[in-house]
Amino acid sequence: MPVCSTRDGVEIFYKDWGRGRPVVFIHGWPLNGDAWYDQLKAVADAGYRAVAHDRRGHGRSTPVYDGYDFDTFADDLDDLLTHLDLRDVTLVAHSMGGGELARYIGRHGTGRVRSAVLLSAITPLMLQGPGNPEGVPQSVFDDIKSGILKERSQFWKDTAEGFFSANRAGSKVTQGNRDAFWYMAMAQTIEGAVACVDAFGTTPFHEDLKKFDVPTLVVHGDDDQVVPLDATGRKAAQLVPGAELRIYEGGSHGIAMVDGDKQRFNQDLLDFLGR
C-alpha cells in the first residue's frame, strides 16, 4: 500500500490517481479517504492528479493512540505534501478536514497551495459560546462521546441518519450511503473517535482563516444537521479574504456522497479548478 511516514513514524495511507495539477482531498470525521471516491474519479478523469489520505487513526493509517489534535494533523498533511513533492495544490476539505486545511495554512503557509475548498467545514469554530451563539452546545459533544463509548457500532448507524439528512422528506440517501458511513466509521480507532470530538468541537480557526491568501470556495448545505451553516460556513467566508460562498438548498452534511448534491459539487469543483 502507498504510505507516507510522518516525522513521528506514523504511516499515512493515501490514494494517488491520475496526472496533472494536484488536488488533495482531506476527509471528515469519522470517515477516511474512501469518502472521496466520486470526486477522485471526477478530478482524475478531468486531467488532474487526485490524492486522498486516511488521517492517522482512521482507515488504513497507523491506529495510534495519540496525536489527535489539529497541529499534528496539519503537520501530517505537510509531511504528505512534502513526501509527494506536491506544488500548486488545490486542497479540498470536508467537515473536520476543514480544520486540518485551515491549520495547515496557519502553520505552513500557502507556498505549495494554489487554492482551497471548504466543504461543510467546521471552521472557524463549532462550539457554542457568547461569541458564537449559533454554534453547537458542549452537551452535544459530550453525548457524542458517550454514544461512542457505550456501543459505537449502533451509534454510527444512528448517526448516519442526521449526517445525510435521511430524516427529511424526499431524501435521496440510500442504504448504501448509510452502510459506507458505518464501514468507514468502524475503521477509526475508538480513541481517535473520542479525541477528535474534543478537537473539532473546541478548536478555533479564526486566525488560521485570516492567513488564507489563495482563491477559496466555501460550500455548505443549509440543512447541515452536524455543522451549522450560520456558525461555520457563513463566518468562514467572511474571514477568508475574497472567499466565494455557495449554499446548497436542502444540502446535508454529506453533500459529496449523496446522489444529486455530489454531482452538483463535482461540477462546482471542476469549474473552480478550471479558473
Report the pLDDT value the prediction gives residue 1, as an integer from 0 to 100. 84
CA angle 87, 90, 96 (to 5 degrees): 120
Half-sphere exposure of 161 (CA within 13 A, CB side): 7
Q: Helix, strand or coil for residue 167? A: coil
**Rounded to an integer, what distance in angstroms lies between the CA atom of residue 35 and that of residue 257?**
7
* C-alpha cell at position 96: 473536520
Q: What is the CATH number of the domain that holds 137?
A: 3.40.50.1820
The number of beta carbons lying within 10 Å of the beta carbon of residue 245 is: 17
Cβ(70)–Cβ(174) below 8 Å: no
Catalytic amino acids? 95, 224, 253
Cβ(39)–Cβ(266) below 8 Å: yes
Q: Helix, strand or coil for residue 131? A: coil
How far apart, in Å, are the Cα atoms of 195 and each of 132, 153, 186? Answer: 22, 17, 15
**Rounded to an integer, what distance in angstroms lies between the CA atom of residue 48 and that of residue 246?**
23
* C-alpha cell at position 162: 442526521
**Rounded to an integer, what distance in angstroms lies between the CA atom of residue 221 and that of residue 131?**
23
Domain containing 226 equals 3-273
The two counts, helices (H) then strands (E), for the chain are: 9, 8
Q: Which residues pair with 16 in a beta bridge?
A: 51
The number of beta carbons lying within 10 Å of the beta carbon of residue 170 is: 6
- Residue labelled with grid coordinates 452537551: 139
Report the pLDDT value the prediction gives residue 29, as an integer from 0 to 100. 97
What is this structure's pTM? 0.98
Q: Tell me, what DSSP letter sits at residue 257? A: G
**pLDDT values of the chain reduced to their tens digit, one per residue, 275 residues:** 899 999 999 999 999 999 999 999 999 999 999 999 999 999 999 999 999 999 999 999 999 999 999 999 999 999 999 999 999 999 999 999 999 999 999 999 999 999 999 999 999 999 999 999 999 999 999 999 999 999 999 999 999 999 999 999 989 999 999 999 999 999 999 999 999 999 999 999 999 999 999 999 999 999 999 999 999 999 999 999 999 999 999 999 999 999 999 999 999 999 999 99
- Count of structural domains within the chain: 1
The edge-to-edge listing of strands for the beta sheet with 49-53 is 3-5, 11-17, 49-53, 22-26, 89-94, 113-119, 216-221, 244-248
